[in-house]
Amino acid sequence: MPIDPIAAGLLQQMAEAGAPPLNELSPAEARLSAEGFLALAGEKEEVDSAVEMTFPGPGGDVAVTVYTPKGAPAGPLGCLVYYHGGGWVLGDREGVDPTLRILANAAKCKVVSVEYRLAPEHKFPAPLDDCYAALQWVAANGKSIGVDPNRLAVGGDSAGGNLAAAVAIRARDEKGPAIKLQLLVYPVTNHDYSTPSYAENGKDYLLTQDMMEWFWNHYLSKASDGKNPLVSPLLLEDLTGLPSAVVYTGEFDPLRDEGEAYGARLKAAGVPTYRKRFDGQIHAFWQMGGVFPAAGHAIADAASHLRKAFT
């Protein structure tokens, strides 16, 4: 179908503004530029609480925000451990705060948003190590934060979806905390630019191939790291035994095909997998709920899957 008219209008406004693309900026400059998208996230829903905490991580203290949904039922709740997007270089908990408040309320679950270390200051595997440590911390300290450690999910968008998939792999292979569901929102799954969706959508739809190359070059210490299944989950030979998955993609996203390929491989490996492509949508629509009605539809759908996983 055609691109969402709202997305087309946003892209036109950005083109008219004439700001340089992220790949022409330093990481520090790109982080400042990306803050402009916060205004598109929408209003902040009221939750029972949003508590900032830290725990000792593999490279120092890791900050998290623990969301408790409005009108939370009594007793410990299921919990989604969430990793923000931003190409491993950008992003923070603030950028996904409005989205996660809505999701926590709709799913009636706890959400723990993780402030992992960023590249290029901290290259692979440092961000992943923080994300896995966050899952372990939630599982080990569930009682103190009102979480049922037997009802855990991981999730993230874009690079955060990549990290969530890698955390699920590590949890399986390292006999870590049991995960009920992995929520992968237009995830990065392969260090590769040869897909049809890159050819179709790699220039004019917010996220570009040039930007992805910039992100990858900051995240990886060496090109061979791109073949590591913890970097490129699509390359993992054995996907059996991984948690049930929800995989969302956008039609006009260069990451569309690799996300859908990962969902297909999970399903082929016997992993219960729900796949949904959001027609007409560009990358990053999920966290721009103030602009895109599709974000609300995606969050409501994700909440439904989380409720089922935690029942």
Indicate which residues carry an active-site annotation. Answer: 158, 253, 283
Tally the C-alpha atoms within 13 A of residue 29's C-alpha that lie toward its C-beta.
8
Are 255 and 197 within 8 A, CB to CB? Answer: yes
CA dist., res. 86 & res. 172, Å (int): 26
Q: Helix 93-107 and helix 293-310: axis angle, to 10°? A: 60
CA dist., res. 19 & res. 75, Å (int): 49
Q: Helix 126-140 and helix 159-173: axis angle, to 10°? A: 60
Burial class (CB in 10 A: 0-12, 13-18, 19+), 40: middle
Beta carbons within 8 Å of 246's beta carbon, 6+ residues apart: 181, 182, 183, 184, 273, 274, 276, 301, 302, 305
